[in-house]
Each structure stands twice: as C-alpha cells, then as structure tokens.
Structure 1
Amino acid sequence: MKRRTAGYGLAAAALFLAGCAAAVDNRATRRETAWEAMHPPSGQFIETAGRRVHATVSGSGPDLVLIHGASGNLRDFTFDLVGRLERDFRVIAFDRPGMGYSDDLGPATVSPVAQADALRDAARQLGVRQPIILGHSYGGAVALAWALRAPSEVSALVLLAAASYPWDGGLGALYSFTDTAIGRHTVAPMIAAFATQAQAESVARGIFAPQSAPPGYVEHVGVGLAMRRGQFNTNSEQVNGLKPYLERMAPEYPDLTLPIEMVHGDADTTVGLSIHSQRLAADVDSANLTVLDGIGHMPHHADPEAVVAAIRRAAARAR
C-alpha cells in the first residue's frame, strides 16, 4: 500500500510539473507572438544555403555593411546611425544569423566564421561590392572573420568596441548556467514568460553604462525579440562559444593590410579596451584606434559623430 501511495504521489508531482511547464510555455508563446507583432521585420529576406537572412538597405553611395552585437538586431543601427549615413553610403544592416529575424545556421550558428560566410553570401546577392564592414561588439568578431576569409573583397573595417581576442576568466553566472542543458531548458522559457519591461530597461542601463540609453531606444530596438526563447538560447550559445574562435583568429590578424578604424570607450566594462582594441592596434599596422574618454560599450549612441567620422576615415583610406 505504501509503495502504491508513493507511486501516486510521484505521478501527481510529475503531472503538476508538466502542467507548470506547459503553462510557462503557453505564456511565453503568447508574449513572443505579441513582441513580433509589435516589431515585425522591417527589411527584406535573402536566402542563403536554405536559411533566410534579414536585412535593410537604404541610401546610395559606397556599400557599408553594419553587423550588430550580442543579444541585438539591426534595429540597434536603424534607431539613429543609419539615418546619419544613408546620404553618403548605401547602408546594409543585417540581423546576424539566429538574431532578430535571420534564421540560425544549425550547429554552425555558434561560429562567427559561419555567420560571416552567410552574411557575405547575402551581401553578394544584394549586389554589395567591396564594402566597408562595421561590426559592434560580437559583430566585430564577425566583421574580422569576414575580412580574414575574403580580404580582397573588403575595402575597410570599422570596429566599435569589438570583441577580437580571447579573455581571461568566464562570462558570469548566467552565461555559465545557460551553457548547461538544464539552463537552456529553464532560463529561456522563464524569461520569455515573465521578464518585465523594467527588467529589460535595467539590462539596457547596464549595457549603456556609464551613459544612459537614448529616449525611445528600448521601444525602438524591440527588446522582446531578444527575450524570445530561440534567440535567447542562440545568443547564449554564440557568446559562450566565441572564445575558441578568437583564439584561432587572433594569430591571423597581423596579416590584415586593409584599413581598419576602431572606436572604443575607455569606460567599457563589457569588452575591455586593453584586451581587445589596444591589442589589435598593436598587432595590425593598418589599424587606427580612437579612444573615447568616459564612454561605455555603445559608442555609436554615446558619440555617434565620432563613429561617423571613423567611417568616413575608413572610406577615405580605402580609395
């Protein structure tokens, strides 16, 4: 009798947990649907190797490709920077594979090299020729991978607070936990189901610190898109898996001869200036570094004029 009672208890507990999981998933699905309705695709889709890449194209002039950072999407650029550039450049902003509305690449999504290949093919289909490639944060690693893979096809790089070298230590408790199977299956559904606007704004404050996010930025960029289960887990995989790729890429940087303009704030606590940009400036003869005093991880918002000036320098050097 005791064994039967215990069995009933276990069955009841299992049913309860399954019901809780289903309720969380249903709530997450409803919220993801609402977020996508609020921030639908704003550009066009290009198919590459059976996967869709989402891009916006505006302006006229030399081709300028924009690649966003971790957890982001192309709306980070369309908030302000694209409008400053489209009079003088044909600006192509991409959602990186697995981010925004671009499909992931399956197991290869973790690779910045595979991401660069996918964006390169999409750019080719858009008629992009000899682009200047701008990469921010994680997107800087993708821009560097693109230049290493096809240096003759890139006219210049502009790197904003770019991740370029392996770093000591880990990425913090959350990234460590989401790198586990149980973390992937629990954290993403809970965030999609229950994360609040106030929590999203708190994350944005941390990314922009010591500056503040510009008014309207959080609403424009669509932070809910980053909280979708698929994108959250893909971002975790990409960030957790980045270091080994940088370890393989870094020895090749001195071979780069194309113009490279870097902009990095000395108050950036997300991607350290000394670990990344200062080291790249020392290793690559063609790299020029502009250090912004007191600026954090988002220089294209904190000092957009400095970023536009760096892009213009890159274009002039590429002629």
Structure 2
Amino acid sequence: MALSTVAAIATSPMSLFEMSIAGEVFGLDRTDDGVPPFTFLTCGERPGEAVPTTSGGHFVPTHTWRDAVSADLVVIPAGGIKDTYPDELLDTIRDAHRQGATILSICTGAFILAEAGLLDGLSAVTHWRYAEQFASRFPRTQVSMDVLYIDHGSIVTGAGTAAGIDACLHLVRRELGASVATRIARRMVVPPQRDGGQRQYVEAPVPDSDCESIQPVLDHITRHLDAAHAVPELARLAMMSERTFARRFVKETGTTPHKWVVQQRVLRARELLEQTDLPVDSVAAQSGFGSAALLRSHFQTVVGTSPQRYRREFSAR
C-alpha cells in the first residue's frame, strides 16, 4: 500500500479527539523532520456543513464521503453508535476497500466498519466498554481485549481512544518504517510503540497498591537491552517481591516481563536494520538477542517476516 493520501471520515455525532488523532499523525507537515508529506482529507456527508461532535462542539469537513474512495488510507474515527448508518457512507467504505485502500477504525468506528461487512470472519478491537455490545451485534467478528490494535493487512482496528494513536503509528511503521514512526511519535511526545491490551484499563486503570510505578525499571531495561533481565533482578530494582513485581508489571504494561523485553528488543532491531548496515549478528547482539538465530525466530513471530527481508523492504527508504 502506498501511504500518500489519507481520508478521515466525519459522521454525526463525531468524536473530535479521534478525528484529531488522524489529523495529528497525517495532517501536519513534518517534512522538515524527514517525514514524507501526506495529503489529508476530512470527509463528511456534505462538505462545509458543520457536523455535531460527541463533546458538544462542531466540526466542518472539507470534502465529501465519496472523495475518500481514492485515498490510500481511510480512517473511521469514533462516533455515536447507531442502529443503522447511511448507505452512502457504507458504500464509500466498501468501494475504497475494493479499490485497494487500507481501512482503519478507531474506537467505536469499528461499528461502522463491521456494518459495512468488512469485519466478517475477522478479529477486531473496539473500546472495551462497548465490546459486549459489539460482539452481540456482529457475531461473525471475534472481539479481542488483549491488544491495542489488530492488523489484517487492508483492515486495521484500533481500540479505545488513545489506542488510535498506536494504530496510526503502527501503520506509519508498517508502510514507511520505524524511523519515520519514531520521528512522528517524538514530535507528538508519545511512545513510538506501546505494548499490552485493554484488559489493564477495564476495571483498574490505576494499580491499587501503594508501590511506586515500575517505570524506572522499564527505563533501565530499554537502556540495557543487550543485558540479561531476569525477574528476580528486576524485582530487586523495583524493591518489590517477585510476585508483586510480576503483578504490577502486567497491570502497567499489559503483558509479562519476558514478552515486553522481547518486543522492545524487536523494536530496537528494526531500527538498526533500517538505519545501519550492521550484519545481522551485530544487530542481534546490540538488540539483546545474542544470536542471529534467536533474532530471526523472535523477529518472525513479532513482525511476520525475516530480518533480511525487512531490511530489503525498509532500509532504502
């Protein structure tokens, strides 16, 4: 997929925050920072006509829904959940997908994507608060709570609210490489890649113990990815028991220490493969995998391709 023209769909009512996520990632000119330019369109039923937002204000799109058909990426931000959606809106999404566009839903935007029939037989995410409602309404789609976004190639769904940032940056990373995604994330002052799922937010978004955050431990790990990181050692750094540390780690990151370390090492390996000519053995050593065989195994699992193939795809960019 080319990633040049991005169209964001405005529906009534529309979530201004999720629309702003798309605009922040794809609508700002960051060519001075080495980010390729995007053509960003805001598309509504009638251009120039104010669309009510869920926060009480209004948003004025500049293009029609049908203008999104020729886009490379169509973003469906969150909005009001309705029993039915306009045929023109659903036809626009189907036609854009048929012509090769990637369709990304954010939060409750997944309801529109599912209503268009594009999630049949797939897994998807939406805001955790509406997951049961979504599952009941669209039984042919499997709802997940374990990830922040799901990528099926031409169909991507992002979970609640800020997970839309993760999904957008993921698409930038997928199409333009980790370096470009990191530049955008740095300007937005957000992590280039978060780990975990929505379960950590469902009932206890703030850990209920009196211990301090494990963020200093996470920072220590990322500064020393080439070192071994056993749970007993990390628990000592956090000044917690191993059991408390493991429980806190899952609450704050949404995953286990081992999986989190592997994901961070893969992210570091991607950057080295894109930005350097280091041999794969050296990339493995600097990213903490120790051997090229171990790097290849984890890289294939996380990224879905080999380090060599990934380098051929992204290093030229």
Pair in the same fold by TM > 0.5: no
Of structures 1 and 2, the one scoring higher in RCO (CA 8 A, sep 6+) is 1
